[in-house]
Amino acid sequence: MPLSMVCCSHSPLLLGALEPADREARDGFFNSIKSAGAWLRERDPELLVVFGPDHFTGLFYDMMPAFCIGAAATGSRDWDLKPGELNVPEQIALDCHEALREAGFDPAISYRLTVDHGTTIPLYELVGALDAYPVLPIVVNCVAVTRPSFKRIREFGASVGRFLSGLDRRIVVIGSGGLSHDPPTPRLDMDSPEVVARLVDRHVATKKDFDARQARVVAAARAMVEGGGPCLPPSEEWDRRFLDRLIRQDLEAFDAYTDEMMDREAGFGGHEVRTWVAAAAAMQAAGPFEMTLDYYRIIPEWITGMAIVRGAPTE
C-alpha cells in the first residue's frame, strides 16, 4: 500500500522559550503545521513511522548505534514536554528489524527506548499526543561520530519503505529535524572532561540537567539574533538547495554530502536532514509520489531554517 509523508523542522524553541520578532513567520509556521496535521489525520493512518534524531537523551557513547528501532518507547520531558509512552506495535518493530537485517543492515533494537523532542515535537504538533496512533520510532544518529553516511541513510530508508509497503496498512512516514542550524551541542573533541563524561555515561537526565541544557540553547539563540555568539546562522541558500533536490526526488545527489561540508555550510544541527532523506527514500521505494513545500522561512529566534514538506502517492 502506498505511503504518505510529512517532513518538518522541530526546533524546541518554538515551544515558547523565545518569541520571534517576525510574527508573520511564526504564525505561518504554526498554521502550516496545523494544516499538515489535519491532512495527516484525513489519511486515517493505521501506523506512523517517525525517523527522528536523538540529542544525547536516550542514546550515549557507551554504545552508540547508527540506527535504533524502538520495540517500546517513552517520550522524555526535555523542554518541559509532557512525557509518556508511545503506542509502539512490538511485532511490527521486530518484523521491520528482521527485514532490515535481511537487506544487509544491522540496526539496534530497544525495548526501553527514550525518545526526546526530535520525535515527540512532531507527534505533539501533528497529532496532539504521543499515543494518538500506533508509532514505530526509528532513531537515526545525527549527532555522534558514528552517524551513517547520506548514501547509507538513503539505502536504509528505501529498505524501510519496501518493508512498510508490504504491510497493507495506511502509513504516514515522518521525517523530523533540520534544516540548517548550529546549536551548542556538546562534542567529544570540543568539551570538558565533565561534559564528555555525560555524553558517554548512560543516565536519566534530571530536571536540573534539562534546564541547564535549555538555558544554554536559549542563550546561544539570543546571541545569534544579536549578531554574536558561537553558532553558525542558518543558511537560506543551503536550505533552498536541499529542498529543491528533495522535492525533485534527486535523492542520490545527497550521497555526495559529507560531514565536513555539513558542519561548514549547514551547521552541526543540519545533520538532522538525514531523517528527511530517509523518509523520502522510504516513499520512493514504496511507489511513485510527489512532494510539496508547504512552508519555509528562517526564524532566527529558533536558530533554524524551518520547513514543512508533504508527500503523497501519485495516481
C-alpha cell at 157: 530508508
Catalytic residue among 55, 181, 203, 271: 181
Catalytic residue among 10, 55, 117, 271: 117
- Within the chain, what is the greatest distance between any pair of CA atoms? 56
Q: How far apart are CA 70 and CA 86, in angstroms?
A: 10
CA 115, distance to chain mean position in Å, is 11
Is 10 an active-site residue? Answer: no
**Cβ 234 vs Cβ 267: under 8 Å:** yes
| Residues 164/153/299/54 CA torsion (nearest 10 deg) | 80
Is 203 an active-site residue? Answer: no
Q: How far apart are CA 297 and CA 25, in angstroms?
A: 7
Dihedral-angle region of residue 168 (phi above 0 means left; psi in -120 to 50 means alpha; beta otherwise): left
Dihedral-angle region of residue 104 (phi above 0 means left; psi in -120 to 50 means alpha; beta otherwise): left
Return the active site residues: 117, 181
